[in-house]
Amino acid sequence: MNILYIGAGFVGTCSAAVSADSGHGALVYDINKERIRKLSSGKRDVIESCLFEDGLAELLIRCKKNITFTNSAPEMKKFIDRVDAIFMCLPTPEKAGEEGQSNLSYYEAACETLAKMLSKRQGGKQSSYVVIINKSTLPISMIDRTKEILEAHKVKNFGIVSNPEFLVEGKAVYDSIHPDRVVIGAENEKDFKIMRALYQRFYTSSSVKYIEVNPHEAEAGKLLANFMLFSRLALCFDVIGRTCESFPRISFERVRDILKIDPRIAPWGLYDSLYAGGSCFIKDAASLAYQLESAGGNAELVRGVLGANNYQLDHFLSRIHAEAHAIIKGVRIALFGAAFKQHTNDVRNSGAIRATEFFLQEGAQEIKVYDPAATDEFKRVFNPKKDAQYKKITYTKSEDACLKSTSMAFIATDWPQFQSLAEIIQKTVKAPYLIMDGRRMLCNSYNNLQSAGFSIIAVGSQFMKGKKV
């Protein structure tokens, strides 16, 4: 089949790569020229500097002949003459300053461009049937708006399908090849049939749950799945972690052992962290709350989960003054991790962003950043070369370079390699020194570090003041 992907982000690129690998012909269109250049480069390091996803660069290089990236509208228009299916993989962030309303401008702009091209396909005859498939996470009734846009441009002979994406960043390629479920929301058998052909390998697979529903159910299912996961994290941070922080002699890990033995308590998400960031959980929960309230429903619990997540980061940062009585002004800080979580270069809603803003406001002398993959993306947010207000931020290439001459370390991301930081810290810097562990990466070394004079503030633990050395 000939498949067009609009939006070459995590979702569009990973899905297109997997389709190309299955033998389909994929054209991926994006308005971001730099992204298109990098993804077309055929070079692993260049691809990874744009989208850092395990296995993605190898896959793109391997199926190069089946996949083309473009930012040329005429090329897309030409492809549309013979297209069978179109995947919409556009960002749907939260509208700035609103109470959760989605910013649908990217999606609608892409729909408008597409509609103009579709109405002129096959010289205006529009003889071929085409399905437009929403992979973006959209408001529950969005299919009606999509139809409106297409009809306003007199597009004929089309179907609209909702096919929400459940992949997890960091293992997006694996999840695209081995999804646990494929959800198809369509209005008629014709569209279901096309989707079955498109996803034949999943439709016939015994390990994939293939679910056919209507488009409203598909969108609601995606928003609710994300909310269930998000609320689980908030519960861990704000109830389990908070309990461990509030009483002496409670280890988060040992309490977790007691909880996870119960088969009714699922193991996913039983960890403590400074913040649940990323591009989806927060904006999808905010969108769910907004939609519920607009429909006259009660969104108190949804808003509560959003509030608990925000409180977690504010509270963690406030402990620097309240518990360690530390002063940030004039201090050099080593910031470990810029990505919102391990195995990705995505910094959207990363806890490291708000921590950096906090340190700048408090007058830190220098914020030294180290991340194994997300430095370039973090520089888009804090670029000392382009913006003088960020001149106190420096970027380093290793853990020890980051630690040198600092008197505080802040662990924001759970990169597995940061588990070795306890040893590197003891070799590189001297107590008195404050360690802020926002991921409990060093939990096996807290006693040693404290005995060596290091003070520790960790999520899910009471303050550990360094013992006199």
- Cβ closer to ligand NAD: 280 or 402? 280
Q: Which region among 3-11, 307-315, 427-435, 438-446 touches ligand NAD (by CB under 6 A)? A: 3-11
User: Shortest gap between Cβ of 91 and ligand NAD (angstroms)?
Assistant: 4
Instruction: Compute the distance between CA of residue 251 and CA of residue 253 in angstroms, rounded to an integer.
Output: 5
User: Shortest gap between Cβ of 339 and ligand NAD (angstroms)?
Assistant: 13
User: Shortest gap between Cβ of 137 and ligand NAD (angstroms)?
Assistant: 4
Per-residue binder mask for ligand NAD (CB under 6 A), 277-296, x = binder: --xx----------------
- Cβ closer to ligand NAD: 51 or 270? 51
Q: Which region among 52-60, 165-173, 199-207, 415-423 touches ligand NAD (by CB under 6 A)? A: 165-173
Instruction: Compute the distance between CA of residue 274 and CA of residue 241 in angstroms, rounded to an integer.
Output: 10
98 token code pair: 């609103």
Q: What count of Cα atoms within 13 Å lies in the side-chain half-sphere of residue 14?
A: 26
- 137 binds ligand NAD, rule: CB under 6 A: yes
Instruction: Compute the distance between CA of residue 221 and CA of residue 97 in angstroms, rounded to an integer.
Output: 26
- Cβ closer to ligand NAD: 49 or 407? 49
Per the CB < 8 A criterion, the answer to whether 57 and 44 are in contact is yes
Backbone angles phi, psi at 236, to 5 degrees: -65, -45
- Cβ closer to ligand NAD: 347 or 393? 347
Nearest residue to 162 via CA among 177, 181, 142? 142
Q: Is the dihedral of CA 216, 219, 222, 224 positive or negative?
A: negative
Of positions 3, 4, 9, 191, contacts ligand NAD by CB under 6 A: 9
Per the CB < 8 A criterion, the answer to whether 288 and 302 are in contact is yes
User: Shortest gap between Cβ of 6 and ligand NAD (angstroms)?
Assistant: 5
- 7 binds ligand NAD, rule: CB under 6 A: yes
- 30 binds ligand NAD, rule: CB under 6 A: yes
DSSP string, 299-336: -HHHHHHHHHHHHHHHHHHHHHHHTT----TT-EEEEE
Footprint (CB under 6 A) of ligand NAD, residues 84-103: 89-92
Per-residue binder mask for ligand NAD (CB under 6 A), 226-265, x = binder: ----------------------------------------
- 422 binds ligand NAD, rule: CB under 6 A: no
Per the CB < 8 A criterion, the answer to whether 449 and 456 are in contact is yes
Per-residue binder mask for ligand NAD (CB under 6 A), 261-280, x = binder: ------------------xx
Backbone angles phi, psi at 334, to 5 degrees: -100, 120
- Alpha-helical regions (H) of 204-350: 215-235, 242-246, 252-260, 281-294, 300-322
- 31 binds ligand NAD, rule: CB under 6 A: yes
Residue count at the site for ligand NAD (CB under 6 A)? Answer: 27
Per the CB < 8 A criterion, the answer to whether 466 and 433 are in contact is yes
- Cβ closer to ligand NAD: 86 or 355? 86
281 token code pair: 């959980």
Instruction: Compute the distance between CA of residue 294 and CA of residue 316 in angstroms, rounded to an integer.
Output: 33
User: Shortest gap between Cβ of 323 and ligand NAD (angstroms)?
Assistant: 35
Residues that bind ligand NAD (CB under 6 A): 6-12, 29-32, 35, 89-92, 106, 109-110, 135-137, 165, 167, 169, 279-280
